Amino acid sequence: MVRGLYTASNGMIARQQKLDIVSNNLANVHTAGFKRDGVIVESFDSVLTKKIKDPSMPHDQVIGKMTLGCKVGNIFTDYTQGGATPTGNPYHVAITGDGMIAIGQENAQGELETRYTRDGSFVVSNEGTLMTREGNYVLGTQGKIVLESSTGQNIRIGKDGTIYDNDQIIDQIQVVDFENPESLRKIGDNLYRQTTDSVEQGFSGSLLQGYTESSNVNTVKEMVDMISVMRAFEANQKVVQTQDETLKKAANEIGRL
């Protein structure tokens, strides 16, 4: 009976973790460049069980294998291309194909750490610096990108990320592709950081000015997953309640016989 409690409770924990992921996907359905996360649920490794302290058996007897239910085995990011949404804003860009835009994020020491994003809904600061809406810097070949034209009327961004102001080259947006994007880690604000396993390669896609990439979250699918997860959670919850009532009877009623 106690094993049943462990099995059901592990199932509830796994479903709660999956529900958190699904909820986050739904919350970012309108976030530009957002990539949905998925969850792989797997069973615990089976372990041998033995019958112990049985006077009729001098040696512990193996009576079979058991598992303590399921767990979250892996959380992965789906990098499927989202649709291009026209905005008409000259500072907005959408990536078509693979790749990510390099972003400079200030640390506690004021140094810029390179991060990456698919969210191209950029803005320009009062000083003319191209930035993300969260206040991070868009990186070019020379570091921060400073635009002389604040209105954006004369700004043109080429497919390779080259920025022109009145046909004069200002800088080029750094766009990086990875052989193994699954090695990147989300750190919040729609940013990713490299790991020791990340391998860079040449950018083979292109940038589209005046557009942003929409989220690749399928609202209907995520809602179906949410309902399925909640029903599985409730089923495990009922198992825990039943096991608890059985243990209560075993302790209070059978003990009096």
123 near 131, Cβ under 8 Å? Answer: yes
How many domains are contained in the chain?
2
Which pLDDT belongs to residue 223?
Answer: 96
Q: Which residue has the higher pLDDT, 45 or 155?
A: 155
Same domain, yes or no, for 204 and 90?
yes
Give pTM, 2 decimals. 0.80
Same domain, yes or no, for 190 and 224?
no
Between CA 155 and CA 161 the distance in angstroms is: 12
DSSP letter at 121 equals: B
Region 56-72: what's the mean pLDDT?
A: 68
10-62 per-position pLDDT tens digit: 888 889 999 999 999 999 999 999 999 999 887 766 666 666 666 666 666 66
Same domain, yes or no, for 7 and 121?
no
Same domain, yes or no, for 142 and 109?
yes
Same domain, yes or no, for 194 and 90?
yes
Region 127-145: what's the mean pLDDT?
A: 91
**Would you say residue 254 has pLDDT above 80?**
no
Domain end residue (candidates: 196, 213, 230)? 213
Same domain, yes or no, for 115 and 194?
yes
Tokens of 51: 């019958």
237-247 per-position pLDDT tens digit: 888 888 777 77
**Would you say residue 117 has pLDDT above 80?**
yes
Same domain, yes or no, for 71 and 94?
no
Q: By residue range, what is the domain housing residue 37?
A: 2-79+218-256
Q: Closest by alpha carbon to 31, among 130, 121, 116, 135?
A: 121
Same domain, yes or no, for 105 and 70?
no
Same domain, yes or no, for 203 and 90?
yes
35 near 185, Cβ under 8 Å? Answer: no
Same domain, yes or no, for 90 and 209?
yes
Which pLDDT belongs to residue 46?
Answer: 62
Same domain, yes or no, for 30 and 103?
no
Same domain, yes or no, for 99 and 115?
yes
Between CA 32 and CA 253 the distance in angstroms is: 60
